[in-house]
Amino acid sequence: MKIKAIWCLSLLMLIASFATAQIPCGPTITPLPTLFVNWPQFRFDLKHSGCNPYERILGPNTVGNLVVDWKYLTASEVSSSPAVVNGVVYVGSFDNNVYALNASTGALFWKYLTGGGVLSSPAVANGVVYVGSEDGNVYALNASTGVLIWQYATGSLVVSSPAVANGVLYVGSFDNNVYALNASTGALLWKYATGNAIYSSPAVANGAVYFGSEDGNIYALTSTGALLWKYPTGGPVDSSPAVVNGFVYVGSGDNNVYALYASTGVLLWKYATQAGYGVLSSPAVANGTVYVGSFDANLYALNAATGALRWKFPTQTSVGSSPAVANGVVYVGSTNPVAPINALYALSAATGALLWTYPTEYSVDSSPAVVNGVVYVGTEDGYLDAFHLPGQ
């Protein structure tokens, strides 16, 4: 059975996939065949737009019919966000494992045991799965078999999600450093020290690396590790930046969402959510709108150019999950570990109207992946859930 599973996965890996290039996320994208479109990393692409421009099955007129396709139970909570590549879902769990599951059935292909909880979201590139662990290591695993290719030890927990660009892996660590590693060998190319732990996941755009630190700063580095600029906020920056159309959008623990010029770090605008509630959620950007959640229990839609509020949706509980946008729909989870009123939501991207909701007993910290007419998300009760349309 194991040999058969590995053979099936290897066959899937040979199928050519459509590239998820850094292109505008909007309705003008020419529709593509939906089979084997990928969601290869946290926030979909290297710039962390959080938007899949190829989705054509799910939309405002169909998403209300979503039903559970399958559920896979791990041994602990799933806060890691899934990657979906060539018909395989990759996700981490607090049970210390990285999982590879059949995207259509939820059947297990393989799992790899690390030495700590896997909150980091996998990035898949060139047949390799890259992921961090709370044991302080970054792992590179064969995507077909789960066999270890290399591992690199940082000085502390790695909950940041890796980004892989031009043969280089970028990832943050709780030892206060961002690392650049050779993606093929794991060899250290450089590291950059900040003043506190790095929870934020690096975004890569226009030859620069953008991330936040719990020291309260947003950083931009060159691809060689030199500082381009840093911008001080009033709180820890655990949110991961989205870099779209020359601007950096990111949340801070000081309750604000920031928009900065990507080239200079100069402030374009900032938007204050409710005082006393930080913004851990990472923004999604599509069609001139920034979508971001706050611990004040709202999902916000802001004008990307001005920061003006377009709409907000009350989720009843905190939003630590990062929204995903696809074909006119925004998907996001809510989280409150002491109140059984959590849910996964699908909202109209244009108006914020509720289109569909799936109540969960436990928190949804994982950020949804929306690809090929299926929504994948993890929950605190240990499941990876997949939702699709009946008869799809």
| pLDDT at residue 346 greater than cutoff 80 | yes
- Which residues, at least 6 apart from 11, have a Cβ–Cβ distance to it below 8 Å? none
**pLDDT tens sequence across 349-389:** 999 999 999 988 888 999 999 999 999 999 999 999 999 99
Does residue 25 form part of some domain?
A: no
For residue 12, being part of any structural domain is answered with: yes
pLDDT, tens digit (0-9, with 9 covering 90-100), for 297-311: 999 999 999 999 999
Instruction: Flag whether 53 is in a domain.
Output: yes
What is the model's pLDDT at position 26? 55
Asked if residue 24 has pLDDT above 80, the reply is: no
For residue 392, what pLDDT is reported?
79
How high is the pLDDT of residue 5? Answer: 44
Percent of the chain with pLDDT over 90: 85
pLDDT at 32 > cutoff 60? no
In a domain, 98, yes or no: yes
**Is 26 inside a domain boundary?**
no
Average pLDDT on 148-177 reads 98
Question: pLDDT class for 14, splitting at 50, 70, 90?
Answer: very low
Residue 27 lies in a domain: no
Q: Whole domain around residue 46: which residue ranges?
A: 2-20+32-388
Domain count, the chain: 1
Label residue 94 by pLDDT band (50, 70, 90): very high
CATH number at residue 11: 2.130.10.10
pLDDT-derived band at 4 (thresholds 50, 70, 90) equals: very low
pTM over 0.75: yes
Q: Please list the helix, strand and coil fractions of the chain in percent, rounded to the nearest 5, in that order.
A: 5, 45, 50
**166 in a structural domain:** yes
* Cross-strand pairs, 135: none
pLDDT in tens, 201-217: 999 999 999 999 999 99
The mean pLDDT of the chain is 91
Q: What percent of the chain has pLDDT over 70?
A: 90
Residue 180 lies in a domain: yes
Task: Write phi, then psi, for 188 (nearest 5 degrees).
Answer: -70, 125
- Whole-number Å distance between alpha carbons of 154 and 152: 7
Please report the DSSP string for 9-47 in residue order.
HHHHHHS--B---S---STTSPP---TTB-B-STTSSTT
Residue 11: what are its φ and ψ, rounded to 5°? -65, -40
